[in-house]
Amino acid sequence: MVKRESEWLDWIKALLVAFGLALIVRMFFFAPIIVDGPSMLPTLHDGDQMIVNKFAYNISEPERFDIVVFHASVQKDFIKRIIGLPGEHVEVKDNILYINGEEVEEPFLADINQKMNPFHLTNDFALEELPGRHKVIPEGHVLVLGDNRTNSTDSRSIGVIPMEEIVGKTNLIYWPLDRMKILRE
């Protein structure tokens, strides 16, 4: 009888440890997210399930074209692509991205450019015209855009995003299985 009670206690301890570890991993390291809406088409589809790396920016700086999840409001997280980094001036003219006056290619938009009328891809804008009216992106902030520029609520309407609002970086689609992949850019 004592042996049986000991086995139950061992199982309960093991389950509590496993639950605790899973909770720590979920809170501090990785979390699942489901893409909601068409703002990142064709890269991400509505309903894609992804893993968010929450500690990526604790060990490295954000890079241009990283896909990030951030708190857009208390109730809602958004998933977008980093386009501008601190200290940079961002502008789009005639569907061409300019960073500090230099043209920057956006390879992830190639499919859209071929399928859509390019005059409707991205309306022209400059950083100083966006909320906050910054001349350059302030330290500790990034400018984000959705890949589907005609249907995305992003920095063009909500302004630059403080780094402390970024939940993490994501590039792994794990569901549905036929879309499972690691995104490169």
> 36-50, 74-88, 99-113, 128-142: lowest mean pLDDT where?
99-113
Q: Say which of 54, 80, 152, 155 is annotated catalytic.
A: 80
Residue 2's pLDDT band (cuts 50, 70, 90): low
Instruction: State yes or no: is 39 an active-site residue.
Output: yes
Which whole number is the average pLDDT over 32-60? 90
Instruction: State yes or no: is 157 an active-site residue.
Output: no
84 found inside a domain: yes
Q: Say which of 6, 13, 39, 73 is annotated catalytic.
A: 39
Which whole number is the average pLDDT over 50-79? 91
Q: CA 60, 63, 64: angle at the middle one, nearest 5?
A: 175
Number of Cβ atoms within 10 Å of the Cβ of 159: 16
83 found inside a domain: yes
3 found inside a domain: no
**pLDDT digits over 75-122, tens only?**
899 999 999 999 999 999 988 899 999 999 988 887 655 555 444 577
- Asked whether the beta carbons of 137 and 145 are under 8 A apart, the reply is no
Backbone angles phi, psi at 71, to 5 degrees: -80, 110
Residue 6 has pLDDT above 80, yes or no: no
Dihedral angle of Cα 96, 98, 104, 106, to the nearest 10 degrees: -50
12 found inside a domain: no
Range of the domain at 119: 30-182
49 found inside a domain: yes
CATH number for 37? 2.10.109.10
- Asked whether the beta carbons of 36 and 149 are under 8 A apart, the reply is no
Fill in the DSSP letter of residue 159: -
Task: Give the model's pLDDT for residue 111.
Answer: 62
